[in-house]
Amino acid sequence: MVLVTGSSSGIGAAVARRFAAGGARIVINSATSADAGRQVAQSLPDAVYIQADISDADQANELVAKSVDHYGRLDVLVNNAGRTRAIPHRDIAAAYPDIWRDIFGLNVFGTWQTTVAAIPHLEATGRGAVVNISSIAGSRPAGSSIPYAVSKAAVEHMTRLLAASFGPTVRFNAVAPGLIETAWTTSDDFFASIAARVRETTPLRRVGQPDDVAAAVVLLAESEYTTGHVLSVDGGAHLL
């Protein structure tokens, strides 16, 4: 069974569909957008929707518990839920502490809390896998805001530390997307300007699609001799 957080749309929904196409049973999750989440679950052969805000520790624990209660086991956790705020990097006064807390509360603490709840069940399988969704902003001086970029750097190092600690029973990897075309990124002028630059300068000359990320997530989840790896899915932007 595969639990994908933040999977009512965008990258998370694409990840869920890719796993389902391979025969996996899926738990769809979101903090809000419950109707959209249920629609995604209903569109898959064997899926259930569970609403939970993983930035809250109790809800993260309950999400994992309900998932295991429903399917009897947990094989793969995909920590996809995340948020950002578009803030120019030089405008440090605008990145006030509450924004840091809000972004870290989901991107870092939510990922951590869900992972901690999931590890006993993943270890029980003897071959569990966690794939965290990071960003190329986690390793480059880029991203929609400094708090967001730093949160993704934390997710990447968390991935490596957990990979070193929990082998051989649980593998930890991360996918670091570049700009991906979603409802989130197509509705904002900030991302529109980045998209134009991506199409002009990156080797593959296009913005990524959610399924580009989904393919990498499934690859890492199924690659049984790979752990502690961060895979860039960015059309070659890391080469620039």
The predicted-structure confidence for 192-223, as pLDDT tens digits, reads as follows: 778 888 999 999 999 999 999 999 999 999 99
161 in a structural domain = yes
236 in a structural domain = no
25 in a structural domain = yes
239 in a structural domain = no
What percent of the chain is modeled with pLDDT above 70? 98
Considering only CA atoms, which of 133, 130, 97 is closest in space to residue 223? 130
Q: How far is 66 from 97, CA to CA, in rounded Å?
A: 33
**pLDDT value, residue 197:** 87
Given the residues 49, 96, 148, 225, the one annotated as active site: 148
**pLDDT value, residue 187:** 67
The 8-class DSSP code of residue 49 comes to: E
Is the model's pLDDT at 12 over the cut of 70? yes
State which residues form the domain around 23. Answer: 2-230
User: Phi/psi zone of residue 140: left (φ > 0), alpha (ψ -120 to 50 degrees), beta?
Assistant: beta
Q: Once rounded to an integer, what is the mean pLDDT over residues 10-14?
A: 97
A 10 A CB-CB count for 105 gives 17
CA distances from 92 to 88, 96, 142 (A): 8, 8, 14
For the chain, the domain total comes to 1
What is the chain's alpha carbon radius of gyration, rounded to the nearest angstrom? 17
207 in a structural domain = yes
Q: How far is 19 from 30, CA to CA, in rounded Å?
A: 18
Residue 81 confidence class, pLDDT cut points 50, 70, 90: very high
Active site annotation includes 96 = no
What type of residue is 71? Answer: Y
Q: pLDDT tens-digit profile of 142-194?
A: 999 999 999 999 999 999 999 999 999 999 999 999 999 987 676 667 777 78
A 10 A CB-CB count for 42 gives 11
Q: How far is 175 from 231, CA to CA, in rounded Å?
A: 5
**pLDDT value, residue 225:** 98
Q: pLDDT tens-digit profile of 25-78?
A: 999 999 999 999 999 999 999 999 999 999 999 999 999 999 999 999 999 999
pTM of the complete model beyond 0.85: yes
81 in a structural domain = yes
What CATH number is given to the structural domain containing 27? 3.40.50.720
Q: Once rounded to an integer, what is the mean pLDDT over residues 118-136?
A: 98
Q: How far is 151 from 220, CA to CA, in rounded Å?
A: 21
235 in a structural domain = no
